[in-house]
């Protein structure tokens, strides 16, 4: 058997199958997105590795070890907090802190697989559109792999700390007038015409293979919990989680499938509209929310994400910016901390508990997608600040 036959690319829309070395990103027959399918018939691990690449047989079984570009992604901690449990109404609530990844977000899990595949294909340049974290991660991994990186940033619409990472890691920055969706549509057009740049956005199905490992780690740690809650922007994580759960079920690792909760920001909730309405096609919106990482009005992965929600009998919900920032304050105060978009995962759970959709006794894993330092502009400033003089008066000495 040809080594490469271990995996292939399959169109999620029409089911056509292609060789993995094909360089397009969408199906030439119908324009649907590809997913990677593996012939792997059983659950097996690479026990010499930790984190993402421990799951190599399940995410990229045929990649040679020497092609793997890694800086130790994944294997993040999972936390419980009395404070967050009280606020959300869920006693058995865990938070998986993806901010502990090398560049401070879950994007590294997908990026290590995508950049390794770029190396396997002999590519020299990478490109992505980004609200910030993708560019930080893509720039870092491209530098490590000695590739040139290009990042398209919505002008004036990105957090300074994320931008600082991309710049420092050496990316070529391209300012796009408009929002993330404008940058993304530029990338999609370019990719089909120009093979020079390897796309690092989540239309690249290898990104999602890496991101499956969030779910693998949750299940390994908690067993089959009742819900996995994710903030939802471009819908890569929602897609990847559903794929991971389906594979775990097929391999017999879980008997009961956790339900995915996909949480959008109210001002950027086209997927919520699709799920709750009568349309069977996503209708893009103009996105507006404080949570810049999910400020996306035309998510590329909606079709895959819908498959995930249906497969897991999942729920799509939306929360306001105030609810997001309330959740962030509680998560920050608990000592764990996250960026605004991440807090949507916990805010969504509180809302569903209040609505009675989720039971207070359910076991829930919330994914905190990005680090607290990622977005300093939205840091709360309401803490007590005392002068030394008033502190001395207060302690009475």
Closer to ligand PLP at the Cβ: 81 or 342? 342
- The two tokens of residue 309 are 């929600």
CB of 122 to ligand PLP, least distance (A): 28
Q: Of all residues in the chain, what percent are helix, strand and coil, respectively (each to 5)?
A: 45, 15, 40
Candidates 21-29, 63-71, 182-190, 204-212: pick the segment binding Zn ion (CB under 5 A): 21-29
x/- contact string, 30-69, with ligand PLP (CB under 6 A)?
----------------------------------------
Q: Which is nearer to ligand PLP, 145 or 214 (CB)?
A: 214
Between 27 and 291, whose beta carbon lies closer to ligand PLP?
A: 291
CB-CB contact of 314 with 283 (8 Å): no
Q: How many CB atoms lie within 10 A of CB 394?
A: 9
Cβ neighbors of 279 (< 8 A, separation 6 or more) are: 273
Question: Maximum Cα–Cα distance for the chain, whole Å?
Answer: 80
Task: For residue 388, give every residue at least 6 positions away whose Cβ sits within 8 Å of its Cβ, in sequence order, or none.
Answer: none
The binder of ligand PLP chosen from 27, 33, 145, 294 (CB under 6 A): 294
Q: Are 347 and 323 in contact (CB under 8 A)?
A: yes
At its nearest, how many Å lie between ligand PLP and the CB of residue 200?
A: 12
357-376 residues in contact with ligand PLP (CB under 6 A) are: 369-370
By a kind-dependent CB cut-off of 5 to 8 A, residue 14 interacts, out of Zn ion, ligand PLP, none, with Zn ion
DSSP secondary structure letter of residue 36: E
Q: What is the arrangement of strands in the sheet containing 148-154, beginning at the earlier edge strand?
A: 172-176, 148-154, 125-129, 197-199
**For Zn ion, which residue of 6, 8, 13, 332 counts as binding (CB under 5 A)?**
13
3-class DSSP state of 34? strand
How far is it, in rounded angstroms, from Cα 68 to Cα 79? 30
Check binding of 236 to ligand PLP (CB under 6 A).
yes
Measure Cα distances from 184 to 128, 234, 292 in Å. Answer: 8, 10, 15
Q: Which does 29 bind (CB under 5 to 8 A by kind): Zn ion, ligand PLP, none?
A: Zn ion
Q: Which of 357, 373, 392 is nearest to 133 (CA)?
A: 373
- In this chain, which of 10, 107, 109, 212 binds ligand PLP, going by CB under 6 A? 107
Which of residues 204 and 369 has its CB atom nearest to ligand PLP in the complex?
369
231 binds ligand PLP (CB under 6 A): yes
Binding to ligand PLP (CB under 6 A): which residues in 118-147?
133
Residues of the shown chain interacting with ligand PLP in the complex, contacts defined by CB under 6 A: 105, 107, 133, 202, 231-237, 293-294, 339, 341-342, 369-370
């Amino acid at each position: 058997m040809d080594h490469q036959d271990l995996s292939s690319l399959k169109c999620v829309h029409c089911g056509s199958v292609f060789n993995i070395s094909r360089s397009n990103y969408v199906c030439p027959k119908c324009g649907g997105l590809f997913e990677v399918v593996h012939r792997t018939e059983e659950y097996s691990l690479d026990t010499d590795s930790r984190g993402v690449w421990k799951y190599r047989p399940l995410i990229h079984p045929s990649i040679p070890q020497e092609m793997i570009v890694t800086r130790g992604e994944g294997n993040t901690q999972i936390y419980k907090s009395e404070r967050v449990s009280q606020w959300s109404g869920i006693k058995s609530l865990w938070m998986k802190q993806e901010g502990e990844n090398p560049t401070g977000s879950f994007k590294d899990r997908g990026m290590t697989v995508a950049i390794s595949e770029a190396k396997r294909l002999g590519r020299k340049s990478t490109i992505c559109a980004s609200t910030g974290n993708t560019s930080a991660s893509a720039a870092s991994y491209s530098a490590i792999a000695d590739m040139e990186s290009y990042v398209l940033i919505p002008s004036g619409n990105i957090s300074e700390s994320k931008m600082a990472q991309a710049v420092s890691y050496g990316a070529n920055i391209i300012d796009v007038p408009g929002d993330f969706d404008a940058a993304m549509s530029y990338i999609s057009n370019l990719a089909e015409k120009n093979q020079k740049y390897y796309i690092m956005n989540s239309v690249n199905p290898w990104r999602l293979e890496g991101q499956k490992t969030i779910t693998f780690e949750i299940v390994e740690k908690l067993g089959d919990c009742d819900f996995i809650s994710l903030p939802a922007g471009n819908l890569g994580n929602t897609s990847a989680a559903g794929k991971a759960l389906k594979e775990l079920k097929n391999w017999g690792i879980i008997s009961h499938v956790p339900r995915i909760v996909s949480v959008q920001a109210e001002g950027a909730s086209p997927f919520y509209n699709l799920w709750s309405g009568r349309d069977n096609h996503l209708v893009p919106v103009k996105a507006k929310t404080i949570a810049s990482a999910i400020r996306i009005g035309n998510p590329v992965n909606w079709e895959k994400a819908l498959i995930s929600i249906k497969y897991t009998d999942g729920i799509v919900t939306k929360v306001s910016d105030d609810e997001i920032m309330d959740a962030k304050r509680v998560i920050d105060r608990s000592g764990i901390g996250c960026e605004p978009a991440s807090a949507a995962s916990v805010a969504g759970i509180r809302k569903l508990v209040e609505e009675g959709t989720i039971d207070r006794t359910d076991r829930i894993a919330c994914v905190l997608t990005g680090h607290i330092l990622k977005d300093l502009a939205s840091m709360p400033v309401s803490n007590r600040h005392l002068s030394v003089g008033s502190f001395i008066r207060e302690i009475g000495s």
